[in-house]
Amino acid sequence: MTQEELIHQARTLLKPSPVRPCHLPGWFRRALLREFGSDGSSGGNSIIYHAIDRVRDATRWRMNWLDHWGSTLYRGQRVFVSEPYGVCPEGIREIAALAARCGCNWHLDPNSWWFPSKTIRILIYQPT
Residue pLDDT, tens place only, 56-93: 876 566 668 999 999 999 999 999 999 999 998 888 99
Asked which of 57-61, 98-102, 121-125 is least confident by mean pLDDT, the reply is 57-61
pLDDT number for residue 117 = 87
Total domains present in the chain: 1
Whether 12 maps to a domain, the answer reads no
Whether residue 2 is contained in a domain is answered as no
Residue 6 lies in a domain: no
Contact 94, 55 (CB under 8 A): yes
pLDDT of residue 58: 60
For 104-119, the DSSP string reads: -EEEEES--SSSTTTS
Q: Quick one: pLDDT at residue 40?
A: 86
**Whole domain around residue 35: which residue ranges?**
19-125
In a domain, 103, yes or no: yes
* Position with higher pLDDT, 117 vs 61: 117
At how many degrees (to 10) do helices 44-55 and 89-102 cross?
A: 110
Q: Is residue 69 one of the residues assigned to a domain? A: yes
Residue 4 lies in a domain: no
* 90 falls within a domain: yes
In a domain, 68, yes or no: yes
Rounded to whole angstroms, the Cα distance separating 126 from 35 reads 15
> Residue 1: its pLDDT value, please?
85
Q: What is the pLDDT of residue 41?
A: 85
| pLDDT mean across residues, the chain | 91
